[in-house]
């Protein structure tokens, strides 16, 4: 007899107001489980980007107050809402909503509370932080094995209370065939790119320093930084100071990331800290774009050196420049890496694979 398909009421919470890989992951789970017939909700600040995008995707949204002085009022309000709506699964994602909604979830006796950690950070007060991940959650989910290892070591979270589930990607969107974006004025030139929300630890300085070294060596390519804040004056100032005018470009936000990826000859992930498993790396692998990544966080777990791409020491611009050069010079080897990366993306990192993994986790912890 086939297993009866459950019907769950799933809530995700997010207190950050910006937009990045973490918010992409939350939206992927919400929309994915909605398509599978479950009821899904988002609790977030009404002025946040994810609140706006969830509304546009016809996801039920609930506004949350996240200022510290508002927490005594927010907790009982969220608890009352959770109890009234008979929520089965509560998944918190950032610090403030972890405390507010985790506490509310305990008060409302939500059957299964998950705390997801997307990036690798330090915890100055590990005793207090442990309560956010153990007392206020039944299960901790991370996006990389490295982050999972840190939780086992630092917070002594039992192995059966921990899961590593990298973000799944939509293989219908990210694929080798399709339109290519027009990114720069020059024609018929190789484009090396990084795609991210620009934060200090994303490594754009290393990327531009590597571009400078390659320009000085006469390397015939162009470099682009694509994403939120990449057209910021600070990025342009670095480009100008390094003498990279007409060689490197900060392009700002682009809507069609699959088309942007297909326009690249090499994707670079030069992060210097915190990285989980970068979604853009998986998306590039599914699009058959060669990837060069730093040895930070979970990047080497998917961009495996000598198998699916090339890894260089973080902050080492000379090593990055050499890896980019090697990627284009040794095309037979690069094609082999690209093909293996493509197979990995298809078999291990699809959106359906992620949702199937989560369904298995939910079934294990919820009464049938």
Residue 23 has pLDDT above 80, yes or no: yes
What is the residue-wise DSSP string for 116-165? EE-S----SSHHHHHIIIIIT-SEEEESSHHHHHHHHHHH---GGGEEE-
Topology alike, domains 9-168+350-365 and 190-348: yes
Exposure pattern of 249-273 as b/e (b: 16+ CB <10 Å)?
bbbeebeebbbbbbbbbbbbbbbbb
pLDDT digits (tens, 9 = 90+) for 53-103: 999 999 999 999 998 898 899 999 999 999 999 999 999 999 999 999 999
Q: Are 281 and 254 in contact (CB under 8 A)?
A: no
Cα 96 to Cα 75: distance, rounded to the nearest angstrom? 11
- Encode pLDDT of 265-277 as tens digits: 999 999 998 888 9
Residue-level pLDDT at 3: 59
Give the closest residue to 108 by CA, choosing from 130, 131, 77, 139: 77
Task: Give domain limits for the chain.
Answer: 9-168+350-365, 190-348
Q: How far is CA 338 from CA 210, 291, 343, in A?
A: 22, 8, 9
Cβ-contact 77, 83 below 8 angstroms: no
Contact criterion met (CB below 8 Å) for 167 and 24: yes
Rounded CA separation 27/21 (Å): 10
Angle between helices 279-286 and 21-35 (to 10 degrees): 60
CA-atom Rg of the chain in angstroms: 21
Mean pLDDT, rounded, for 238-251 = 95
With H, G, I as helix, E, B as strand and everything else as coil, classify residue 226.
strand
Query: Model pTM?
Result: 0.89
Question: pLDDT digit string (tens) for 143-167?
Answer: 999 899 888 888 888 888 999 999 9
Cβ neighbours for 351, distance < 8 A, ≥ 6 positions apart: 28, 32, 168, 169, 170, 171
**Cα angle value 222/286/330 (rounded, 5°):** 50
The domain over range 190-348 is classified in CATH as 3.40.50.2000:
yes
What pLDDT does 22 receive? Answer: 93
pLDDT category at 1 given cuts 50, 70, 90 is very low
pLDDT for position 2 = 45
Phi and psi dihedrals of 31, rounded to 5?
-70, -35
CATH topology of domain 9-168+350-365: Rossmann fold (3.40.50)
* Closest alpha carbon to 107 in 141, 79, 78: 79
- The runs of H, that is alpha helices, within the chain are 21-35, 49-56, 71-84, 95-107, 126-130, 145-155, 204-216, 233-241, 257-262, 279-286, 299-302, 317-329, 331-348, 351-365
């Amino acid at each position: 007899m086939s297993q009866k398909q459950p019907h769950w009421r799933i809530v995700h919470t997010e207190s950050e107001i910006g937009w990045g890989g973490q918010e992409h992951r939350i939206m992927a789970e919400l929309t994915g489980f909605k398509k599978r017939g479950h009821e899904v909700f988002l609790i977030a600040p009404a002025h946040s980007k994810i609140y706006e995008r969830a509304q546009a995707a016809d996801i039920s949204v609930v506004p949350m107050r996240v200022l510290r002085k508002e927490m005594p009022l927010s907790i009982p309000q969220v608890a009352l809402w959770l109890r009234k709506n008979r929520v089965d699964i509560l998944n918190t994602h950032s610090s403030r909503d972890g405390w507010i909604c985790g506490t509310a979830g305990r008060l409302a006796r939500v059957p299964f509370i998950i705390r997801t950690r997307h990036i690798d950070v330090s915890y100055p007060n590990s005793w207090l932080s442990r309560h956010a991940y153990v007392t206020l959650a039944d299960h901790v989910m991370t996006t990389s094995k490295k982050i999972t290892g840190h939780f086992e070591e630092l917070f002594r979270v039992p192995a059966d209370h921990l899961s590593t589930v990298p973000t799944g990607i939509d293989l219908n969107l990210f694929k080798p065939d399709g339109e290519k974006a027009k990114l720069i004025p020059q024609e018929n030139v190789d484009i090396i790119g990084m795609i991210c929300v620009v934060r200090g630890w994303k490594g754009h300085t290393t990327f531009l320093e590597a571009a400078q070294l390659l320009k000085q060596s006469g390397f015939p390519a162009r470099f682009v930084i694509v994403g939120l804040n990449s057209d910021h004056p600070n990025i342009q100032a670095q480009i100008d100071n390094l003498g990279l005018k007409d060689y490197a470009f900060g392009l700002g936000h682009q809507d069609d990331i699959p088309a942007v990826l297909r326009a690249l000859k090499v994707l670079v992930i030069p992060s210097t800290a915190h990285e989980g498993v970068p979604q853009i790396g998986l998306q590039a692998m599914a699009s058959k774009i060669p990837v060069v990544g730093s040895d930070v966080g979970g990047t080497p777990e998917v961009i495996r050196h000598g198998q699916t791409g090339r890894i260089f020491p973080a902050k080492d611009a000379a090593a990055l420049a050499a890896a980019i050069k090697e990627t284009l010079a040794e095309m037979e080897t690069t094609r082999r890496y690209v093909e293996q990366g493509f197979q990995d993306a298809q078999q291990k990192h699809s959106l359906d694979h992620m949702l199937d993994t989560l369904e298995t986790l939910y079934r294990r912890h919820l009464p049938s």
